[in-house]
Structure 1
Amino acid sequence: MLTGKQKRFLRKHAHHLTPVFQIGKNGLNDNMIEQIDETLEKRELIKVSVLQNNFESKEDLAEQIANGTGAYIVQIIGNVIILYRESREYKQIDLP
């Protein structure tokens, strides 16, 4: 579980990032969760954009991704989900 201080730290680092994945009208599938998992291993911190034509709740989508990848939800702001998971091989971010 992330503390408030750690979430603020991660939000600061995620500010300049652009969304790596987009979830559209087809929603999430196992392949997309697997790709997000691989990307989290390389980058640790990513943004996922939820398009307007997706009618699922952003909170539900974020929970599905977090459960499928073992990531933490840092923030859901607008149509963007920010996710963090510490990398085993490519550790770049040291949390406070």
Structure 2
Amino acid sequence: MNTITPTRVVRDGETLVSSEERFELEFFSPGNSKNRYVGIWYMRITIQTVVWVANSDNPLTNSSGTLRIGDDGNLILMNTSLGGVVWSLNQSKVDNSIA
């Protein structure tokens, strides 16, 4: 899968791969940690090199996470077992209208 849409979520255990297969988004646990994070890393490097982590300050404690696009267009990480938002891009829409 290489796209996420409002109707297509990414669940823990699934990956999102860029169309040119340079980057991969996936849920992961670093080292021996049981905490779960959503991260992006380079695919063509032997040693996993994380370039971005969504929820570095608020890890999931189980594999019930889903990443989706909200009704407002923001990227949202949900904990489906608790029903809450773990992380959100939380960007407001830009008004490009000219007065």
Q: TM-score range by the shorter chain?
A: under 0.3
Structure with greater strand percent: 2
Higher relative contact order (CA 8 A, sep 6+): 1
From the CA coordinates, give the structure whose radius of gyration is larger: 2
Structure with greater helix percent: 1
Q: What TM-score, normalized by structure 2, do the two folds share?
A: 0.24
